[in-house]
Amino acid sequence: MTIRSNPEDILRKTIARFVDKEIVPRAKEIDEKGEFPREIFQTIGKMGIYGIRYPKAKGGAGGNTTLFCIICEELARGLMSIAAITAMQCLMGTNFLFHYGSEDLKERYLYPALRGEKVACFCLTEPEAGSDLGNVSTRAHRVEGGWIINGMKTWVTNGPVADFFTVLCQTDPEKKFRGLNFFFVPRETQGVKVSKPFDLLGTRTTKISELSFTDVKIPPHHMLGEEGRGLDNLMGILSEIRTMTAALAIGLQRAALTDSIRYAHERVQFGKTIGNYQLIQAKIANMATDLEASSLLTYKATKMIDEKKPCLKEASMAKYFATEAACRAADEITRIYGAYAYSMEYSAQRYYRDVRFLLYGGGTHEILQTNIARWAGL
């Protein structure tokens, strides 16, 4: 009899070994150093992870959204910063170039990015346009020989170290959402200016900055996708973005729960370990239940994506629940650790800082709650 291994289990074990060997022992050092982890970034590229969502025939690894989210989860269990960098490279930073870029651009930028030789990033948010994409003011206007871009983007993950940018621009303000389009901009293009990295509360290895575009001229084929379809193309990966964020949240929950259980077994008060006290048991029980529910919601959504079923509602619920559960877990571990959680020596404080990163990308929870209520029939 032939026993066939489950590819999801094989991938999880492979990534878990990498995380336990290369990331967990160095997580504190990497976080405190606060520099882009170039060596680990390149190693992940050599493992073929950045192409997990793309078919082998097109330079990818032939995986799917479920496998992608398993990778995100395991990396986040080790260090949220590295997971966030990887998620950007796998999804938003390369997706539009893969689907809509010319073969020349793919050869020069996409395929090296999938190998970890170039860093990708995604420029969506503006100072006055976060959730409200209808207010995007970065403008691309057509000129002879291409397009001219003027404007500014903020909260650009990987911005300070990126080799190329996928930029959302407005081409016709009168068309509002139908005037939104994505453009490919290499870093070396004249008129592109990157600010110094933001000083962040958490995910300190993830480099984030502002970008300004001043009379940036690009060729016509640098528009990524059919004109007027930018928002539709973004909506096409929104479920993936939200399930990916949920997977990051699951990874942090797992790390917090594991550390909490270990500490509850070790810490002795009043003659017995604190794990014997019911209030500590209640905290562990709540964290474990939240983790299980987060996993069920998230991987239900990834399966639906892989089966090409509409699942924006399920993905939104997964992102909302898993991220709020991660916030609860990050809070509970600080209570279980007590005063030790206030020390930078222990991982509890890092979980507490890093978890805030998950609240904003892929839709704020206020937006998600509004949408979920509407889907529920309100």
Return the structure tokens found at 43. Answer: 């190693």
For domain 237-375, the CATH class is: mainly alpha
Tell me the mean pLDDT in the region 302-327: 97
Determine the pLDDT at residue 2. 42
- The residue type of 334 is T
Residues 353-372 have pLDDT tens digits of: 999 999 988 888 999 999 99
At residue 59 the predicted structure's pLDDT band, cuts being 50, 70 and 90, is confident
Determine the pLDDT at residue 130. 73
Determine the pLDDT at residue 3. 42
User: Is 1's pLDDT higher than 50?
Assistant: no
- The residue type of 241 is I
For residue 193, give the nearest of 165, 224, 223, 222 by alpha carbon.
165
CATH 2.40.50.220 fits 120-229, yes or no: no
Residues 269-297 have pLDDT tens digits of: 999 999 999 999 999 999 999 999 999 99
Judge whether 92 and 119 are in contact, CB under 8 Å.
no
- Sign of the alpha-carbon dihedral angle for 160, 164, 168, 173: positive
Residue listed under structure tokens 């994506």:
305
- Residues of each domain in the chain carrying CATH 1.20.140.10: 237-375
Q: Which residues pair with 217 in a beta bridge?
A: 148
Alpha helices (runs of H) in the chain, residue ranges in sequence order: 7-18, 27-33, 38-46, 65-78, 80-90, 92-100, 103-105, 111-114, 230-235, 238-266, 278-306, 312-337, 348-354, 365-375
- Residues of each domain in the chain carrying CATH 2.40.110.10: 120-229
Residues 222-239 have pLDDT tens digits of: 999 999 899 999 999 999
Judge whether 83 and 206 are in contact, CB under 8 Å.
no
Determine the pLDDT at residue 92. 94
Residues 61-114 have pLDDT tens digits of: 999 999 999 999 999 999 999 999 999 999 999 999 999 999 999 999 999 999
- Residues of each domain in the chain carrying CATH 1.10.540.10: 7-114
At residue 336 the predicted structure's pLDDT band, cuts being 50, 70 and 90, is very high
User: What are the percentages of helix, strand and coil residues in the chain, rounded to 5?
Assistant: 60, 15, 25
User: Is 135's pLDDT higher than 90?
Assistant: no
* Rounded Cα gap, residues 315 and 312, in angstroms: 5
The fold of 7-114 is: Butyryl-Coa Dehydrogenase, subunit A; domain 1 (1.10.540)
For residue 255, give the nearest of 98, 65, 81 by alpha carbon.
81
Determine the pLDDT at residue 4. 53
